[in-house]
Amino acid sequence: MLYIVPSPIGNLADMTFRAVDVLRQADLILAEDTRTSSVLLKHYDINKPLTPYHRNNEHRVVTHLVEQMQSGKKMALLTDAGTPGISDPAYLLVRECIRHQISVECLPGATAFVPALVNSGLPLHQFCFEGFLPLKKGRMTRLKELSVESRTMVFYESPLRLVKTLEDLMQYMGPERECSVSRELSKKFEENVRGTLEEVRNHFKEKAPKGEIVLVVSGKNK
């Protein structure tokens, strides 16, 4: 059995009762970063074996993990924050479990883009999740494609690249396109900045952003 367990995106109180119960019942917890997950487990007094599972080792360990689950072990997959599989490792292991007829259950819970999207004030009836834009190869091509997207768009971005990404979006979508930047969601210093791409760019040029960032951009008017 494999459980996909969402973890808080900042505030540890956002963990669900069910997620805590599943982690307590698991034989092994797979963690993107065992140090980060250890803080969460200690907070909820969960004492279970931890093993790393991340982008750098997932291809190497997936077969062994599947074999252990076939022998009867219950495993729970955690990433550093949010729901595994959303711009984080999970797909490969889930696919192999399904292929080997191992039960997979994904618990509902925290994911950063949902609160950022809802509190952006932009249309919610249709949207597309883009995750991180390509850093180099394919970046300009993707931006050109997205410049005519009519749905609201959701991106993840690092604080070091945010201003550059806003400037790239201005180039392809125009400085007047509406957007919202949410950072440090659910944490003490949560900030939501709304306005045009140019206004939000100017804000973060003056005040360097920190923490986890979700960028929401309105679609092109038809």
Residue 108: what are its φ and ψ, rounded to 5°?
Answer: -75, 150
Predicted TM-score (pTM) of the model is 0.91
Beta-carbon count within 10 A of 43 CB: 13
CB 219 within 8 A of CB 151: yes
Q: How far is CA 199 from CA 17, 202, 206, 213, in A?
A: 41, 5, 11, 17
Q: Are 108 and 68 in contact (CB under 8 A)?
A: no
One digit per residue, pLDDT tens: the chain, 222 residues? 999 999 999 999 999 999 999 999 999 999 999 999 999 999 999 999 999 999 999 999 999 999 999 999 999 999 999 999 998 999 999 999 999 999 999 999 999 999 999 999 999 999 999 999 999 999 999 999 999 999 999 999 999 999 999 999 999 999 999 999 999 999 999 999 999 999 999 999 999 999 999 999 999 997
Distance CA 183, CA 158 (A): 10
Q: Domains plus CATH for the chain? A: 2-106 (3.40.1010.10), 113-217 (3.30.950.10)
